[in-house]
Structure 1
């Protein structure tokens, strides 16, 4: 029995990304800044045009099963759990009403974007994506399953260099054959269903080669064609959440999704995307068109309660969310344990407390008054008289205003300044506390021992209270104002509530979608000694009942017509 995979010694199993670790924050910010600044100059899509007639053809089959897995490549447990269950020869699941389904393994796997976190590199892909999938399904027997991959923004942070080497320059990914030579693709499925994958580089426009390719594809399709469109971002959600009506209409009219909708017209029947790490399905009233966000392949959970539930443009109503908003709101309360979830974050904020409090102390003429309110007034005046203390406080306030998640400038300023005021109050309170402790010990205000006590309290308790204030800020923002959903839940690094979508093109021409839920991913795994390359190297060894897969909602059926 083991908690650690032993299939390879090249890399250790990955923990969930610690987004608030100071070094990680700096590295991620640097990669994002460089890729954003140089994205247009390093657009690899321009170097790999695909002939307009290149197409993977499955139309000779009478049926086909396809899996959509997005936002994988984070921690070992969730990534391997999805890989393990997706590669079982027969997946047995129960629906919400107790009905059992036996689903055959997919012949096609589509990675729907953001295959690795936090930024791409050979080591990151190997450790966070290849190793889990190799442990689950290292080799396959003919007929070999096929893999396609859409790059997301995290894949683009090295200008798609590592993605290209892993998915475009090779013929195999573990047990899957790779059938694409560019970051976009198309495949003809049975019964005139089509699979289309689009690459939108860091939110930029679709490049000219893709435009030519998809125009030729649209001309090739017949009037009865039905399309499953895979994109790395749910543009329909992004547009809908833009509550300013003019900006919302402009985005809907001019965006990449609008171009594709104009090009393919009503033939698009299913929109599939990741990027948001939860499951949400919108559909037209008659169910003919489905828009599904399914970013549950392995990354930390995103909240569902921060998004609006009124119909999208075109009348697509919200049909299901996983986790449900009540559960999502309850999970947000874990931010009260922010210092425990993100222990190294306080090193930076505690140091800021130390710099502000040290300079504040130097500006005081003597120990603060024993009564807190008079002392607070004196210390506030001293804070303003100290250039260095005021400078560090202003720098902190500026950073928090920049960090605030608000569309309107006055709300951003208000949120940032209130947040900064809470930290300023904490610094003053800790400075006062240090003075009282030194006085109780009979130490002179300017003695080395008193100064030492003050610095230890500012750094030590500042480490704790600054993180706690930050966590409370995120909790209030996400639960009261529907803001900071990404920041509030990336701090929690929730492994559970993972999912993927299995699609079955049936013999009668209907398409059935099965949203597979892993409400809890296993925490323990048992090594299978001498396992065949086509069999998993590790199997779940967690007795919790929620580790078994089930359906998020009943199967969604799109008829053959």
Structure 2
């Protein structure tokens, strides 16, 4: 991701577009953007500078055509594309509602609507019933009174492709350009949108939607999850070092308490520092397992898994202490034992504890807990996806979900030096394919 900083947006967002299309062709394509959660880190300052306030109205070879963080574009054959900004899951503000009220004056029963939203709240509402409230309010109060039909909801945010189908519309997540792959094997097979237990004072009638397609498929996504054991320490050496440091400190506290117990009364076994460190370890594991706004019976599994994870780390520290005390280093004059622990024990326990975290993530992921961390910790770059949409003269909308199983690892300067040619090309040609057969809407 780009952080909300000018340099990061230039290098990681605008830069790749410019490398792909350095000079605009005679018919310059227009780019519209909906801000996501990372765009809100700086209050949309960088987003507005690039897409809204830019004087040259140029983003690489694309032109920018919006004047706000939301937009409405009239497409051929009665189709409309509405980009909605729900302020990172917060609400639709009054200026935005007033803008779309004006747009709604141009809509009628023959209008067909595509809504581009920052996040697939129809999926997130399965765990957070209020997540879909803003989009539902928008459809219910702005679109429905015009008689227009919302035929398609599009979003990114979750880094995969998934399509839910219902009697009235399609719900598509296509965030396959994200920094790492997000799993598909834990997606709900059926959704009710909006959920019946929403806290909204008013809501549309709940309708069922079935999971019709996903990319990568569930079997491949499940295989990816097992890669956490190898990828977690390799891709996250700093995290492994942190675990090794914490476990070394916990072992030294246990070793010191055990020595006091061996030499004296036994009451020093649970010394204050040791108890504090053990409690902090368990508490950190519980907090790691908790989703935002966790409460109620819905999140009991998070508590159980979090406590179990913390206790497992304390047990690992106890086992490590027992093994360390069996070695001769502990009898050396102080501070040699501590130095030996840092040099010898730390790296080993760091790797072992990283495998414990990997095992926890794999088990927790099977219960739908820390699923994001299970894949974020691996940083899987493959299985990219994006959409192409085509509107035929007769008004048929065809959706082409395109997947790239393996991304380019090596790049070379493009020999084609024409102005619109990309600066770089992959050394091994990409092999895009359809993630599922084309989907048609009328």
Query: Taking structure 1 as the reference length, what is the TM-score of the superposition?
Result: 0.70
Q: How big is the shift at 1:360?
A: 2.1
Task: Report SS of the residue matched to 1:203.
Answer: coil
- Give the 3 Å change call, closer, same or farther, for CA 558–429 of structure 1 in structure 2: same
- For residue 334 of structure 1, the aligned residue among 212, 219, 227 is 227
What are the Cα deviations for residues 352-406 of structure 1, in whole angstroms up to 9, with x where unaligned?
Answer: 11222222222223798xxxxxxxxx9x97552x211211221121111111146
- For residue 301 of structure 1, the aligned residue among 176, 181, 186 is 181
Q: Which has the higher contact order (CA 8 A, sep 6+)?
A: 1
Task: Report SS of the residue matched to 2:188.
Answer: coil
Q: Structure 1 CA distance, aligned partners of 2:153 and 2:218?
A: 22
- For residue 267 of structure 1, the aligned residue among 104, 128, 149 is 149
Residue 452 (1) aligns with residue 331 (2): no
Q: Structure 1 CA distance, aligned partners of 2:322 and 2:117?
A: 55
Equivalent pair of 2:114/2:152 in contact (CA under 8 Å): yes
- 2:255 corresponds to: 361
- 2:242 corresponds to: 348
Residue 506 (1) aligns with residue 392 (2): yes
Residue 430 (1) aligns with residue 320 (2): yes
- 1:202 corresponds to: 88
Equivalent pair of 2:260/2:268 in contact (CA under 8 Å): no
What are the Cα deviations for residues 507-541 of structure 1, in whole angstroms up to 9, with x where unaligned?
Answer: 12111111111111111122124622311111121
Q: Which runs of 5+ in 1 are unaligned?
A: 1-116, 243-247, 369-377
- 1:552 corresponds to: 435
Equivalent pair of 1:438/1:453 in contact (CA under 8 Å): no
- 2:197 corresponds to: none
- For residue 310 of structure 2, the aligned residue among 420, 426, 442 is 420
- 1:468 corresponds to: 355
Q: Structure 1 CA distance, aligned partners of 2:10 and 2:279?
A: 43
- 2:105 corresponds to: 219
Task: Report SS of the residue matched to 2:192.
Answer: coil
Query: Taking structure 2 as the reference length, what is the TM-score of the superposition?
Result: 0.88
Equivalent pair of 2:281/2:313 in contact (CA under 8 Å): no
Q: Structure 1 CA distance, aligned partners of 2:301 and 2:393?
A: 55
Q: How big is the shift at 1:282?
A: 1.0
- 1:324 corresponds to: 217
What are the Cα deviations for residues 113-140 of structure 1, in whole angstroms up to 9, with x where unaligned?
Answer: xxxx152211111221222111110112
Q: Structure 1 CA distance, aligned partners of 2:45 and 2:176?
A: 25
Q: Structure 1 CA distance, aligned partners of 2:192 and 2:425?
A: 41
- For residue 125 of structure 1, the aligned residue among 1, 5, 9 is 9
- Give the 3 Å change call, closer, same or farther, for CA 350–118 of structure 1 in structure 2: farther
Equivalent pair of 2:391/2:398 in contact (CA under 8 Å): yes
- Give the 3 Å change call, closer, same or farther, for CA 382–367 of structure 1 in structure 2: closer
- Give the 3 Å change call, closer, same or farther, for CA 450–205 of structure 1 in structure 2: closer
Q: Structure 2 CA distance, aligned partners of 1:452 and 1:204?
A: 51
Q: Which range moved further: 265-274 or 522-531?
A: 522-531
Equivalent pair of 1:357/1:458 in contact (CA under 8 Å): no
Q: Structure 1 CA distance, aligned partners of 2:337 and 2:408?
A: 51
Q: Which runs of 5+ in 2 are unaligned?
A: 194-206
Residue 404 (1) aligns with residue 289 (2): yes
Q: How many residues align?
A: 416
Equivalent pair of 1:431/1:454 in contact (CA under 8 Å): no
Q: How big is the shift at 1:341?
A: 2.5
- 1:282 corresponds to: 164
Equivalent pair of 1:511/1:558 in contact (CA under 8 Å): yes
What are the Cα deviations for residues 381-436 of structure 1, in whole angstroms up to 9, with x where unaligned?
Answer: 7552x211211221121111111146546433322221111111221222222221
Q: Structure 2 CA distance, aligned partners of 1:275 and 1:381?
A: 53
- For residue 145 of structure 1, the aligned residue among 10, 29, 32 is 29
- 2:136 corresponds to: 258
- 2:52 corresponds to: 168
Equivalent pair of 1:147/1:177 in contact (CA under 8 Å): yes
- Give the 3 Å change call, closer, same or farther, for CA 521–176 of structure 1 in structure 2: same
What are the Cα deviations for residues 189-239 of structure 1, in whole angstroms up to 9, with x where unaligned?
Answer: 111111110111121110101101111211221220111110001111112
What are the Cα deviations for residues 417-456 of structure 1, in whole angstroms up to 9, with x where unaligned?
Answer: 21111111221222222221217xxx73655444433343
- 1:155 corresponds to: 39
Equivalent pair of 1:305/1:482 in contact (CA under 8 Å): no
Q: Structure 2 CA distance, aligned partners of 1:297 and 1:490?
A: 14
Q: Structure 2 CA distance, aligned partners of 1:267 and 1:448?
A: 74
Q: Structure 2 CA distance, aligned partners of 1:191 and 1:214?
A: 20
Task: Report SS of the residue matched to 1:291.
Answer: strand
Matches within 5 A, 1:8-19: none
